[in-house]
Amino acid sequence: MIYFHLLLESFRFALSALRANLLRTILSLLGVTVGIFSIITVFTLVDSLEKNIKDSLNFLGDDVIRIEKFPWIFEDDYPWWKFVNRPKAEYSEYQFLKSNSKEASAVTIFAERFGVTVKHESNSLSGAIVSGVAYQHKDVFEIPVETGRYFGLQEVEKGTNVTIIGAEVSKTLFPMTDPIGKEITLRGLKFRVIGVMEKQGASITNAPSADDFCYVPYNTFFKMYSGQGNFGVESIIALKGYPEDEGLKNLEGEITGLLRQKRGLRPREDTNFAINRPEAFADFLDSIFSVISIAGWVIGSFSILVGGFGIANIMFVSVKERTNIIGIQKSLGAKNFFILFQFLFEAVFLSVMGGLFGIFLVYLLSFVSLGSLDLTLSIGNVIIGIAVSAIVGTLSGIVPAGMAAKLDPVIAIRA
């Protein structure tokens, strides 16, 4: 209890010293405020940007393997000539994998056409995206139907002219009425609207938004574009793995064997298809944002360094001003650690206050509109800011506090 009271008394001495020199206190903590503001702002921007980009890539799916013609390779010189002559994914391959795969929980095939004009009476929307999907597409990728329903199995297999439209398509073509049961025109064909998806909003990466999509059965899509060189787009087979298949290794091995068998590839022949996974994007983004975070540390460290020097300078001045008081305290029996903590608390308190004010400024910044970027100050970044402030205060105040603790009481009183 004695030590606790001594620590509390040290804290009171530090607080009273800071109040006695309020202007100097404010000027001292400004350096730390700027430093913490710089670091936490960079971290908050990086975290928010990373979260927004990853959220915008949700359309790639989770635990999903995509069989495509071209692999995802994030390099400056993409070797496209190695893959351009590969065959496209076919519907028969989708049916073969669906029938024979034991490691996939769901299998789908889909193809997309961009820049399509959609009409309803006098209303039209240019730039819509038409996507032909299989029945299990909803089990592989999220299709959040808000009103209406998803495709029936018979509608998909027979290629019925039905569609599920996005929120923007619905708003443009049916501004005053419920679109369910109404007809829209795609490439001169009438389609009955059976569902409307939830509004997704714009993406920071400018990725295709579900709001502009018109989903139709895959067989219907094939009939619409069959006369345009295999409908002018790449078909993609996607398979949803089971959660217990860590890294989707079992699914990838099985699919590789099955599709090589279906395409009649001999053991020594190279695989003529690519197996792509959304984790490739995530790993690529992590490598980029880790570099940005390091840059944030470097930039903010200079400001923190200046703030630390400012606090150290103020603490040296404070020790000099209160030398005779230190002598009186020590002559009355104050221990060295009491004097040490008195000045160390003052430095740490000064630094943490500056850090908290810097974090508060970042919090205010999070309310500023940055377009589609949703800026959020996380608890982790708040903890980092407070921890860095406390460390800076400790390092800045330890030398002046140590000097004060070692003063001879007689010499200190005569100072």
Structure confidence at residue 147 (pLDDT): 92
Q: What residue ranges in 134-226 does DSSP mark as E strands?
A: 145-148, 162-165, 183-186, 189-197, 213-217
Which of 183 and 283 is assigned the larger pLDDT? 183
1 falls in which pLDDT band (50, 70, 90)? low
Identify the sign of the CA torsion 24, 25, 29, 30: negative
* pTM beyond cutoff 0.85: no
133 falls in which pLDDT band (50, 70, 90)? very high
Question: Averaged over 33-38, what is the pLDDT?
Answer: 81
- Examine the pLDDT at 269 and tell me if it is beyond 90: no
Do 212 and 201 touch, CB atoms closer than 8 A? Answer: no
Helix (H, G, I), strand (E, B) or coil at 253: helix
Convert the pLDDT of each residue in 300-330 to its tens digit.
777 778 778 878 887 887 788 777 877 777 7
Neighbour count for residue 229 (Cβ, 10 Å)? 8
- Examine the pLDDT at 80 and tell me if it is beyond 80: no
Structure confidence at residue 163 (pLDDT): 94
Per 3-state DSSP, the chain is made up of helix, strand and coil in percentages (nearest 5) of 55, 15, 25
Share of the chain above pLDDT 70, in %: 87
Chain Cα centroid distance, residue 177: 37
- Domain limits of the chain? 1-56+284-414, 104-242
Query: How many angstroms separate the CA atoms of 152 and 192, rounded?
Result: 13
Convert the pLDDT of each residue in 6-20 to its tens digit.
566 656 766 676 676
In this predicted structure, which of 167-171, 187-191, 290-294 has the lowest mean pLDDT? 290-294
Helix (H, G, I), strand (E, B) or coil at 321: helix
280 falls in which pLDDT band (50, 70, 90)? low
- By CB atoms closer than 10 A (0-12, 13-18, 19+), residue 76 is exposed
Query: How many angstroms separate the CA atoms of 232 and 230, rounded?
Result: 6
Structure confidence at residue 231 (pLDDT): 47
Structure confidence at residue 183 (pLDDT): 92
Identify the sign of the CA torsion 262, 263, 264, 265: negative
Do 401 and 340 touch, CB atoms closer than 8 A? Answer: yes
Which of 399 and 285 is assigned the larger pLDDT? 399
Structure-block tokens of residue 180: 């369910």
- Examine the pLDDT at 227 and tell me if it is beyond 70: no
Question: Nearest 5°: phi and psi at 366?
Answer: -65, -15
Do 108 and 64 touch, CB atoms closer than 8 A? Answer: no
Question: Nearest 5°: phi and psi at 81?
Answer: -65, -20
Do 415 and 331 touch, CB atoms closer than 8 A? Answer: no
Helix (H, G, I), strand (E, B) or coil at 294: helix
Question: Averaged over 124-141, what is the pLDDT?
Answer: 89
Question: Averaged over 325-338, what is the pLDDT?
Answer: 76
Question: Averaged over 261-286, what is the pLDDT?
Answer: 80
CB-facing half-sphere around the CA of 54: CA atoms within 13 A:
16
Query: How many angstroms separate the CA atoms of 137 and 31, rounded?
Result: 55
